Structure 1
Amino acid sequence: MTASSTKTLSLAEVRGLAKSVLVAAGMDAAGSDVIADIVTASERDGPRSHGLRMLPVYAQSFTSGYANGAAAPSVEKIAPGVLRGDADNGYYQIAVAAARDELIALARENGIAAFTCSNCHHLGGLRFDTEPLAEAGLVALAVINSLSMVVPQGGVKPVFGTNPMSFACPREGGEPVVWDQAASMVALMDIRMAAAEGHDLPRPAGLDPEGNASTDPNAILETRSLLPFGEHKGAAIAFMIEVLGAALAGGTLSVDNQERESFGALNIKGGATLIAIDPSRFGNAAFGAYITRICAEIEGNGAARVPGDGRLKKRASAEADGVEVSTELLAQLNQLAQPA
């Protein structure tokens, strides 16, 4: 395979390009700021499959009319510790940003609080929804369901979405512990990146047209049938997220694809739940010391690392040196950034 040429962009240049693409696709100023920040943070921290490479998918959701580029989400308090949102057919990240301050206040008042949201789209890392809560001293758990493409263990057709989840908690004297992951063996955009870059996946992650587990990204993209991580255990997690996401919030089930198919979209109007916990209200004054001890038992333990901490090294490198972007992708994005 011939290596593609690249160009180094600063994070400020990444954000400017992302903002231009989103505005050209029909997003308003406020919403494009939120998504441009997430794209930039993905390029900075990884996985970069959720960064600039996601922009054409964002743009398609607006230019096709599937998503609302000028969404004005609503947030309603429906119980002492429960907020319910309607994202106005826009992106979930915009709705959760609107709910964040009230969610934090409710968690501190009650010890625990939750935000559910329907009528929302989501593309990108969920950790950008949990990390701000951990920075505020809270423990956070987020889930959202997505377009069906994960086959239940032993099944032959997709039932679940990649159904991501994220967890975050504060860490004394350091950055919060933050991780997110899909319920699939590999995220869809990582498969698309492998296909674009011309290499196989490191492990079987989906089914080929003959129904066999495969490492060939093109074969998996043809079937759109991904494998859950951990076999039946990952499928159980995907089921849980379908309940906590779509069912609890009233979002579209992953298998209900009819509307998105007419727009050619790569996501559905799923459901999301974000839970915030104030550890200071749970009776263990040594909570922070527990987190320090857990992390200390992992660090220096062979090649182990605290979940999510790989992003911190990537962050420092990207902030200092920028990120390498393929010139082919840049040409595509610069074209998308042109006013209609």
Structure 2
Amino acid sequence: MRIPFTTMKAEVKRVLLKVGMTEEKAEICASVHTESSRDGVYSHGLNRVARFVDYVKKGWVDVNAEPTLILKSGAMENYDGNRGPGILNAKFAMNRAIAISKEHGIGLVTLRNTTHWMRGGTYGWDAADKGYAAICWTNTESCMPAWGAKNTRLGNNPFVIALPREEGNIVLDMAMSQFSYGKLQVTRLKNELLPVPGGYDKDGNLTSTPGLIEESMRILPTGYWKGSGFAILLDTVAAILSNGLATSGIDKVQEGSCGGCSQIFIVIDPYVAGGKDFVERTLNETVAYIKTSEPAIAGGEIYYPGELSAKTRKENMEKGIPADDNVWNEILSL
């Protein structure tokens, strides 16, 4: 089924108000969940609402918590998220990083003891829409084996890079696994296979069947050993700079996905060195060059990061946002 944007947002907001959020906070969170689904990231949009409600009811997320400043040093600020809603904490951190970069050219905000930020790309789009470059990431509980291992010891640690561009922002939003668990869920709900192997089944065989990977929890690091190494460094840098928990510590908390995680938000004024005309020209030349690639499959199209999201956004605003029947009915019943 397809749900109009305003209908989906209103229903999500109703649910969030029911669990104790203020009008303002419910509005922001409902917007982010709906925008994520609108842009095609269904796994971290509508599909995450019921889980968030469950975490609130269990006391793992405090809807009334606000981030508190722990340390300020030059262009860097460190905050404790106090287990508040991850979306609100991340929005706050990105806005602070933007404000700092206006003064210094670069702003670094670290966030510890926070909760799941839902779609990481949200905060990259926020910065790019305001004319700033951004790099941000989060660590997570262990959900991926290190390269060569069977049991989970690494987070898939979503990583975002965004650049502003008048004809369409360039935004990379990726996990350190070949496919996130959210993507596995969406693909399974559609009764489809992954386009390439995304992990191992319980017998150690590479597979494209999402349910078998969810069962074994042996998702494949992107780039094999490279993704494994990248995940380790993202995790430890986030923990060290925020004075927060690494994946090994989050595992001890045992309070849902990303409960107690650490996050980094870096914002840069991209026009300091060469000016806006230079930046626009460089990005447009790069995009044009990429788009002239010969497709590997006849009739195929080559996309730059963020282009497909923008295309999906336009289509879903016109036709309605796709929603799994069971997921939508679950939201209606909350």
Normalising to structure 1: TM-score of the pair?
Answer: 0.89
* 1:326 corresponding residue in structure 2: 324
1:254 aligns with 2:250: no
**Match 1:89 to one of 73, 83, 88:** 83
Cα contact 1:112–1:278 (8 A) shared by 2: yes
2:308 to 307, 310, 313: 310
Comparing 194-203 and 34-43, the one that deviates more: 194-203
1:291 aligns with 2:283: yes
Deviation at 1:211, TM superposition (A): 2.7
Corresponding residue for residue 186 of structure 2:
193
Structure 2: runs of 5 or more not aligned: 295-300
Query: 1:237 and 2:235 equivalent?
Result: no
In 2, the alpha carbon distance for the partners of 1:195 and 1:243 equals 32
Aligned partner of 2:260: which letter? Answer: K
- The aligned counterpart of 2:105 is 111
CA distances 1:173-199 after superposition (whole Å, capped 9, x unpaired) = 323211201100101111122333333
Q: Does 1:23 align with 2:17?
A: yes
Read off the aligned partner of 2:283 and give its amino acid letter.
I
Question: C-alpha displacement at 1:101, in angstroms?
Answer: 4.0
State the aligned residue count. 326
Asked if 1:164 corresponds to 2:158, the answer is: yes
Cα offsets for 1:116-157 (capped at 9, x unmatched): 001101142111112221122211001101121111111122
Q: Shift of the alpha carbon at 1:280?
A: 2.4
**Are residues 184 and 104 of structure 1, via their aligned partners in 2, closer, same or farther at CA, if it must alter by over 3 Å?**
same
Of 34, 58, 78, which residue of structure 2 is paired with 1:64?
58
**1:207 aligned to 2:214?**
no
Q: What is residue 297 of structure 2 aligned with on the other side?
A: none
| Pairwise CA distance, 1:49 | 1.5
Q: Quick one: percent identity of the two aligned structures?
A: 24
Q: How far 1:237 moved relative to its partner?
A: 1.5
Contact 1:85 1:95 survives alignment (8 Å): no
Return the letter of the residue paired with 2:210.
Answer: P
Q: Which amino acid aligns with 1:203?
A: V
Q: Would the aligned equivalents of 2:94 and 2:265 in 1 still touch at CA under 8 Å?
A: no
> What is the aligned partner in structure 2 of residue 267 from structure 1?
258
**8 Å contact 2:113–2:259 — kept in the other structure?**
no
Q: Distance in 2 between matches of 1:12 and 1:327?
A: 18
> Counterpart of 1:191 in structure 2: which amino acid?
L
Following TM superposition, by how much is the alpha carbon of 1:215 offset from its aligned partner in structure 2, in angstroms?
A: 2.1
Unaligned runs of 5+ in 1: 1-5
State the distance in 2 between where 1:85 and 1:214 align.
Answer: 41
Query: Would the aligned equivalents of 2:129 and 2:164 in 1 still touch at CA under 8 Å?
Result: yes
- Partner of 2:171, secondary structure, is strand
Relative to structure 2, which stretch is displaced further, 192-201 or 288-297?
192-201
Give yes or no for the alignment of 1:220 onto 2:218. Answer: no
